Structure 1
Protein backbone atom coordinates (compact mmCIF):
# COMPACT_ATOMS: atom_id res chain seq x y z
CA UNK A 1 0.00 0.00 0.00
CA UNK A 2 2.75 2.50 0.94
CA UNK A 3 4.60 1.70 -2.28
CA UNK A 4 1.54 2.67 -4.35
CA UNK A 5 1.09 5.89 -2.36
CA UNK A 6 4.77 6.79 -2.77
CA UNK A 7 4.56 6.05 -6.51
CA UNK A 8 1.58 8.41 -6.85
CA UNK A 9 3.26 11.13 -4.78
CA UNK A 10 6.53 10.78 -6.69
CA UNK A 11 4.73 11.00 -10.02
CA UNK A 12 2.86 14.08 -8.82
CA UNK A 13 6.11 15.79 -7.79
CA UNK A 14 7.74 14.96 -11.12
CA UNK A 15 4.76 16.55 -12.88
CA UNK A 16 3.74 19.38 -10.55
CA UNK A 17 7.11 20.88 -9.62
CA UNK A 18 8.17 21.59 -13.24
CA UNK A 19 4.66 22.83 -14.02
CA UNK A 20 4.73 25.31 -11.13
CA UNK A 21 8.23 26.37 -12.07
CA UNK A 22 7.09 27.01 -15.63
CA UNK A 23 3.85 28.81 -14.70
CA UNK A 24 5.11 30.87 -11.78
CA UNK A 25 8.88 31.26 -11.89
CA UNK A 26 10.22 31.04 -15.43
CA UNK A 27 8.09 33.97 -16.48
CA UNK A 28 9.76 36.17 -13.86
CA UNK A 29 11.17 39.12 -15.83
CA UNK A 30 14.91 39.52 -15.43
CA UNK A 31 15.37 42.10 -18.20
CA UNK A 32 15.50 45.04 -15.81
CA UNK A 33 17.41 43.08 -13.20
CA UNK A 34 20.04 45.01 -11.26
CA UNK A 35 23.58 44.06 -12.31
CA UNK A 36 22.23 42.21 -15.38
CA UNK A 37 22.22 38.89 -13.54
CA UNK A 38 21.12 35.69 -15.25
CA UNK A 39 18.60 33.26 -13.79
CA UNK A 40 21.52 31.00 -12.89
CA UNK A 41 23.24 33.86 -11.04
CA UNK A 42 20.04 34.46 -9.09
CA UNK A 43 19.66 30.78 -8.25
CA UNK A 44 23.20 30.73 -6.85
CA UNK A 45 22.53 33.91 -4.90
CA UNK A 46 19.29 32.50 -3.45
CA UNK A 47 21.09 29.28 -2.50
CA UNK A 48 23.63 31.37 -0.60
CA UNK A 49 20.84 33.44 0.93
CA UNK A 50 19.49 30.24 2.47
CA UNK A 51 22.80 28.66 3.46
CA UNK A 52 24.66 31.94 4.22
CA UNK A 53 27.99 30.36 3.28
CA UNK A 54 29.14 27.52 1.06
CA UNK A 55 32.00 26.31 -1.08
CA UNK A 56 31.92 26.20 -4.87
CA UNK A 57 31.88 22.40 -4.67
CA UNK A 58 28.91 22.40 -2.30
CA UNK A 59 27.02 24.84 -4.53
CA UNK A 60 27.87 22.73 -7.58
CA UNK A 61 26.51 19.60 -5.94
CA UNK A 62 23.41 21.36 -4.61
CA UNK A 63 22.51 22.94 -7.93
CA UNK A 64 23.74 20.16 -10.22
CA UNK A 65 26.06 22.52 -12.06
CA UNK A 66 29.64 21.51 -12.79
CA UNK A 67 32.41 23.33 -10.89
CA UNK A 68 33.83 24.87 -14.08
CA UNK A 69 30.37 26.30 -14.88
CA UNK A 70 29.78 27.42 -11.29
CA UNK A 71 32.95 29.51 -11.06
CA UNK A 72 31.90 32.22 -13.54
CA UNK A 73 28.47 32.43 -11.88
CA UNK A 74 30.13 33.07 -8.52
CA UNK A 75 32.68 35.42 -10.13
CA UNK A 76 29.91 37.67 -11.42
CA UNK A 77 28.30 37.80 -7.98
CA UNK A 78 31.68 38.64 -6.43
CA UNK A 79 32.24 41.33 -9.07
CA UNK A 80 29.00 43.03 -7.99
CA UNK A 81 29.85 42.54 -4.30
CA UNK A 82 26.76 40.38 -3.73
CA UNK A 83 28.94 37.58 -2.36
CA UNK A 84 32.55 37.38 -1.25
CA UNK A 85 35.21 34.73 -1.04
CA UNK A 86 36.96 33.98 2.24
CA UNK A 87 39.50 31.43 3.32
CA UNK A 88 38.03 28.89 5.73
CA UNK A 89 39.22 29.21 9.34
CA UNK A 90 39.44 25.41 9.63
CA UNK A 91 41.33 24.75 6.38
CA UNK A 92 43.12 27.54 4.50
CA UNK A 93 42.88 25.51 1.27
CA UNK A 94 39.08 25.80 1.35
CA UNK A 95 37.48 28.97 -0.01
CA UNK A 96 34.08 29.86 1.43
CA UNK A 97 31.56 31.82 -0.62
CA UNK A 98 29.49 34.07 1.64
CA UNK A 99 26.54 36.31 0.86
CA UNK A 100 27.07 40.02 1.61
CA UNK A 101 24.65 42.60 2.95
CA UNK A 102 24.12 43.82 -0.62
CA UNK A 103 23.31 40.23 -1.66
CA UNK A 104 20.84 39.96 1.22
CA UNK A 105 19.11 43.17 0.16
CA UNK A 106 18.86 42.02 -3.46
CA UNK A 107 17.43 38.64 -2.41
CA UNK A 108 14.82 40.36 -0.27
CA UNK A 109 13.93 42.67 -3.16
CA UNK A 110 13.70 39.73 -5.60
CA UNK A 111 11.62 37.79 -3.08
CA UNK A 112 9.17 40.69 -2.91
CA UNK A 113 9.03 40.98 -6.72
CA UNK A 114 8.45 37.24 -7.04
CA UNK A 115 5.70 37.32 -4.42
CA UNK A 116 3.96 40.11 -6.33
CA UNK A 117 4.25 38.20 -9.60
CA UNK A 118 2.79 35.05 -8.04
CA UNK A 119 -0.06 37.08 -6.54
CA UNK A 120 -0.87 38.51 -9.96
CA UNK A 121 -0.87 35.01 -11.48
CA UNK A 122 -3.12 33.66 -8.69
CA UNK A 123 -5.50 36.55 -9.27
CA UNK A 124 -7.02 34.59 -12.16
CA UNK A 125 -8.23 31.85 -9.80
CA UNK A 126 -11.68 31.66 -8.25
CA UNK A 127 -12.03 32.23 -4.49
CA UNK A 128 -12.76 28.54 -3.81
CA UNK A 129 -9.63 27.53 -5.74
CA UNK A 130 -7.56 29.98 -3.72
CA UNK A 131 -8.91 28.59 -0.45
CA UNK A 132 -8.15 25.02 -1.57
CA UNK A 133 -4.67 26.01 -2.76
CA UNK A 134 -3.97 27.76 0.53
CA UNK A 135 -4.90 24.63 2.49
CA UNK A 136 -2.79 22.45 0.21
CA UNK A 137 0.23 24.76 0.47
CA UNK A 138 0.05 24.86 4.27
CA UNK A 139 -0.10 21.06 4.37
CA UNK A 140 2.64 20.65 1.77
CA UNK A 141 4.97 23.01 3.62
CA UNK A 142 4.35 21.26 6.93
CA UNK A 143 5.01 17.83 5.44
CA UNK A 144 7.98 18.96 3.35
CA UNK A 145 9.71 20.21 6.49
CA UNK A 146 9.50 16.65 7.86
CA UNK A 147 11.30 15.10 4.85
CA UNK A 148 14.93 14.18 5.51
CA UNK A 149 17.24 16.02 3.14
Structure 2
Protein backbone atom coordinates (compact mmCIF):
# COMPACT_ATOMS: atom_id res chain seq x y z
CA UNK A 1 0.00 0.00 0.00
CA UNK A 2 1.31 3.42 -0.96
CA UNK A 3 1.01 5.53 2.22
CA UNK A 4 2.27 8.61 0.40
CA UNK A 5 -0.64 8.41 -2.04
CA UNK A 6 -3.06 8.18 0.90
CA UNK A 7 -1.48 11.28 2.46
CA UNK A 8 -1.77 13.14 -0.85
CA UNK A 9 -5.43 12.12 -1.16
CA UNK A 10 -6.12 13.41 2.35
CA UNK A 11 -4.36 16.68 1.53
CA UNK A 12 -6.36 17.03 -1.68
CA UNK A 13 -9.66 16.16 -0.02
CA UNK A 14 -9.48 18.46 3.02
CA UNK A 15 -9.76 21.72 1.02
CA UNK A 16 -12.74 20.29 -0.89
CA UNK A 17 -14.48 19.36 2.36
CA UNK A 18 -13.73 22.82 3.72
CA UNK A 19 -14.98 24.60 0.59
CA UNK A 20 -18.08 22.49 0.00
CA UNK A 21 -19.18 21.85 3.58
CA UNK A 22 -17.46 23.73 6.37
CA UNK A 23 -17.54 27.25 4.94
CA UNK A 24 -21.32 27.38 5.07
CA UNK A 25 -21.81 26.12 8.61
CA UNK A 26 -20.07 28.35 11.13
CA UNK A 27 -21.93 29.37 14.29
CA UNK A 28 -23.16 32.93 14.28
CA UNK A 29 -21.02 35.18 16.45
CA UNK A 30 -18.31 32.58 17.07
CA UNK A 31 -14.95 32.07 15.40
CA UNK A 32 -14.12 28.73 13.82
CA UNK A 33 -11.88 27.89 16.80
CA UNK A 34 -14.61 28.78 19.29
CA UNK A 35 -17.09 26.67 17.32
CA UNK A 36 -14.72 23.71 17.18
CA UNK A 37 -13.92 23.86 20.90
CA UNK A 38 -17.57 24.25 21.90
CA UNK A 39 -18.56 21.23 19.82
CA UNK A 40 -15.64 19.27 21.29
CA UNK A 41 -16.60 20.11 24.88
CA UNK A 42 -20.17 19.04 24.08
CA UNK A 43 -18.92 15.71 22.76
CA UNK A 44 -16.21 15.05 25.39
CA UNK A 45 -17.61 16.95 28.36
CA UNK A 46 -15.71 17.00 31.63
CA UNK A 47 -12.24 16.28 30.28
CA UNK A 48 -9.14 18.17 31.48
CA UNK A 49 -8.25 21.36 29.61
CA UNK A 50 -5.05 19.68 28.43
CA UNK A 51 -7.16 17.09 26.53
CA UNK A 52 -8.93 19.80 24.52
CA UNK A 53 -5.74 21.82 24.01
CA UNK A 54 -3.99 18.78 22.55
CA UNK A 55 -6.95 18.02 20.26
CA UNK A 56 -7.02 21.65 19.08
CA UNK A 57 -3.22 21.60 18.57
CA UNK A 58 -2.89 25.05 20.11
CA UNK A 59 -0.25 26.40 22.45
CA UNK A 60 -1.28 26.84 26.08
CA UNK A 61 -1.54 30.64 25.96
CA UNK A 62 -3.73 30.81 22.86
CA UNK A 63 -5.86 27.92 24.10
CA UNK A 64 -6.39 29.58 27.49
CA UNK A 65 -7.57 32.74 25.73
CA UNK A 66 -9.92 30.69 23.57
CA UNK A 67 -11.41 28.96 26.63
CA UNK A 68 -11.77 32.30 28.39
CA UNK A 69 -13.70 33.72 25.42
CA UNK A 70 -16.24 30.89 25.70
CA UNK A 71 -16.48 31.35 29.47
CA UNK A 72 -17.20 35.07 29.03
CA UNK A 73 -20.02 34.15 26.63
CA UNK A 74 -21.28 31.66 29.27
CA UNK A 75 -20.98 28.74 26.83
CA UNK A 76 -18.53 26.65 28.87
CA UNK A 77 -17.35 26.62 32.45
CA UNK A 78 -14.18 25.53 34.22
CA UNK A 79 -14.24 23.33 37.30
CA UNK A 80 -11.35 21.98 39.33
CA UNK A 81 -11.14 18.21 39.46
CA UNK A 82 -12.21 16.72 42.78
CA UNK A 83 -9.56 14.00 42.39
CA UNK A 84 -6.69 16.41 41.70
CA UNK A 85 -7.20 20.12 42.42
CA UNK A 86 -4.41 21.00 39.96
CA UNK A 87 -6.50 19.65 37.06
CA UNK A 88 -9.11 21.94 35.51
CA UNK A 89 -11.96 20.39 33.55
CA UNK A 90 -14.32 21.97 31.02
CA UNK A 91 -18.09 21.59 30.97
CA UNK A 92 -20.68 22.92 28.56
CA UNK A 93 -23.42 25.18 29.93
CA UNK A 94 -27.10 24.96 29.06
CA UNK A 95 -26.63 28.01 26.82
CA UNK A 96 -23.71 26.31 25.06
CA UNK A 97 -25.72 23.11 24.66
CA UNK A 98 -28.63 25.05 23.13
CA UNK A 99 -26.32 26.80 20.67
CA UNK A 100 -24.76 23.46 19.67
CA UNK A 101 -28.19 21.92 19.18
CA UNK A 102 -29.32 24.81 16.97
CA UNK A 103 -26.04 24.66 15.06
CA UNK A 104 -26.31 20.90 14.47
CA UNK A 105 -29.86 21.38 13.14
CA UNK A 106 -28.59 24.06 10.72
CA UNK A 107 -25.74 21.79 9.61
CA UNK A 108 -28.15 18.93 8.92
CA UNK A 109 -30.45 21.17 6.89
CA UNK A 110 -27.50 22.64 4.95
CA UNK A 111 -26.05 19.21 4.14
CA UNK A 112 -29.42 17.70 3.23
CA UNK A 113 -29.90 20.50 0.69
CA UNK A 114 -26.42 19.84 -0.73
CA UNK A 115 -27.19 16.13 -1.07
CA UNK A 116 -30.25 16.79 -3.22
CA UNK A 117 -27.84 17.03 -6.16
CA UNK A 118 -26.68 13.41 -5.69
CA UNK A 119 -28.13 10.21 -7.11
CA UNK A 120 -29.22 7.35 -4.84
CA UNK A 121 -26.09 5.42 -5.84
CA UNK A 122 -23.85 8.39 -5.02
CA UNK A 123 -25.55 8.78 -1.64
CA UNK A 124 -24.96 5.11 -0.82
CA UNK A 125 -21.31 5.40 -1.85
CA UNK A 126 -20.91 8.59 0.21
CA UNK A 127 -22.47 6.99 3.28
CA UNK A 128 -20.28 3.90 3.05
CA UNK A 129 -17.17 5.99 2.39
CA UNK A 130 -17.72 8.23 5.42
CA UNK A 131 -18.41 5.24 7.66
CA UNK A 132 -15.12 3.69 6.54
CA UNK A 133 -13.17 6.94 6.88
CA UNK A 134 -14.53 7.55 10.38
CA UNK A 135 -13.80 3.99 11.50
CA UNK A 136 -10.24 4.08 10.15
CA UNK A 137 -9.37 7.60 11.36
CA UNK A 138 -10.47 6.72 14.89
CA UNK A 139 -7.59 4.20 14.92
CA UNK A 140 -4.95 6.82 14.09
What is the deviation of 1:69?
Answer: 1.4
Residue 11 of structure 1 and its aligned partner are, at CA, apart by: 2.1
> In the alignment, does 2:20 pair up with 1:27?
no
TM-score normalised to structure 1 length = 0.79
Task: Indicate how the Cα distance of structure 1 residues 138 and 91 shifts in structure 2: closer, same or farther if over 3 A, else same.
Answer: closer
Q: Number of matched residues?
A: 140
Report the Cα offset of residue 29 of structure 1.
4.8
Tell me how large the CA RMSD over aligned residues is. Answer: 2.1
TM-score by length of 2: 0.83
Which runs of no fewer than 5 residues in structure 2 stay unpaired?
none
Q: Give the match for residue 8 of structure 1.
A: 5
Q: 1:112 aligns with which of 86, 105, 110?
A: 105
Please give the alpha-carbon distance, in whole angstroms, between the structure 2 residues aligned to 1:140 and 1:68: 33
- Given that 1:81 and 1:103 are in contact with CA atoms closer than 8 Å, whether structure 2 keeps it comes out as yes
Q: Tell me if structure 1 keeps the 8 A contact 2:76–2:96.
A: yes
Structure 1 residues 27-82: Cα deviation after superposition (integer angstroms, max 9, x where no partner): 2254xx2xx22221111101111211233333222111222112222112112222
Mapped partners of 1:60, 1:20: distance in 2: 23
Q: Using the TM superposition, give the Cα deviation of residue 107 of structure 1 relative to its aligned residue in structure 2, in angstroms.
A: 1.5
Asked if 2 retains the 8 angstrom alpha-carbon contact of 1:81 and 1:102, the reply is yes
Matched, 1:38 2:31: yes
Range with bigger deviation, 135-144 or 39-48: 135-144
